[in-house]
Amino acid sequence: MSEHADPAHGRPSRRYEVGDTHLEGRSAVVVVVSSSAASGTAEDRCGPLLRDWLRGRGLDVTLRVIPDGPEVLELLRNLTSASGPAAPRFVITTGGTGLNSDDVTPESTARVLERESPGIMHALWSAGLRKTPTAVMSRGVAGHAGQTFVVNLPGSRGGVKDGMTVLDPLLDHISAQLEDVHGHGEDRSVTRSAQGEVVPAAVPDSPGHGVRADVSGHDAADAAGTVGARVPAASSSADAAAVDDAAPGAEPSAGEVLLALVTTDPLDAAEAQRAVQNPRCGAVVGFSGVIRDHDGGKDGVTALEYSAHPSAGEVMRDVVGGIASAHPDVRLWAAHRIGALAVGDSALEVAVAAGHRREAFEACAQLVDLIKERVPIWKRQSFEDGQHNWVGLDA
């Protein structure tokens, strides 16, 4: 039951507008619910991702980190009881949605909402299920209190990225409806990835990776950018004609996919880069995702064991083919290793050759990021103290 008695909550009278103009000048609060992050014993990797995305959409963003438990309800009450300019338009939480005894974010949120928006949660579960069956274990809720919209996301980067993908094309429309604006959102256009998913418009691309990276296995892809707009359907064409040789007005052919593989065999960066070399390519960029001896703020990683969903190979081919379609004049090589790996082993090798360095860097960064985001691979980490954990099952 909501703690708000008045569903109208002081809304202005109706007005009719069109356009994407209902985010600037509004504010948002990102709430990270994590006892370990609040105590400083673990790194918060989700809050900054959400903050930067929302800032890119024109919102004034505040980031809060609080422990699991009663503080969640107290903060949500304070945030949703504000009115006027002090009221945040969005409150997005991450964490505390599971089955642990102190996971109370959904219950706390439900107590302050006036009306729930179950369709948004169904969309979030659907997006997560494409990668892992554990996505449905998130018990998050979404809805509004007055002119503040609240939504619970899981505490993993994968879950947060799914949330950004689902919410990104809806933010302005949600904001407009909370202000009782009608006739809004009919002319919306969005950016989609090679697989047809909405790409969050405000996640900034980082520079391409041309050096061997110090990362822990599949986390190699965390810093790369995303595929841009209007990418054609995935393709794995074996031959790509140079754009300069194409007939005037002709559509450029897809880039060349030399390898897209999930394998138990060791990976060799030099082999990958040799494979993509070609006389017409003046730039070769390589990325290596290497097992490191620490992860998530904990030292003493001794080994990792990667597992893959049966669809992993097919998804890998689709991802690489999509990048080939987005970059017509590149040559691509990508392989992810599964099985038992030691510190220093390479878990992910990507090599890209192109006519010029900028396209090679961009294609490599985008490909690494999409492999991390889309290919269903998980890892079991072993530590010196005998403990182990799974990474990626909730991503």
CA distance 33 to 23: 25
* Mean pLDDT taken over the chain: 78
State both tokens at 163.
């949330």
pLDDT at 353 over 90: yes
End-to-end Cα separation, the chain, in angstroms:
31
192 vs 176, higher pLDDT: 176
**Cut 0.85: pTM above it:** no
Q: Is 48 helix (H, G, I), strand (E, B) or coil?
A: helix
pLDDT of residue 184: 42
Q: Over the stretch 179-190, which tens digit does the pLDDT of each residue have?
A: 887 654 444 434
Q: Are 190 and 198 in contact (CB under 8 A)?
A: yes
**pLDDT classification of 298: cutoffs 50, 70, 90:** confident
Burial 336-351 (b: 16+ CB within 10 A, else e): bbbeebeeebbbbbbb
Closest CA to 289 of 211, 353, 237: 211
Residue 296 has a pLDDT of 64
| Residue 330 DSSP class | E
**What is the number of alpha carbons within 13 Å of residue 31 lying toward its C-beta?**
29
pLDDT at residue 391 in the model: 64
Which one is predicted more confidently, 354 or 244?
Answer: 354
Cβ atoms of residues 375 and 218 within 8 Å: no
Residue with tokens 């190699």: 220
Mean pLDDT to the nearest integer, 121-139? 89
Whole-number pLDDT of residue 85: 82
Task: Tell me the residue type at 200.
Answer: P
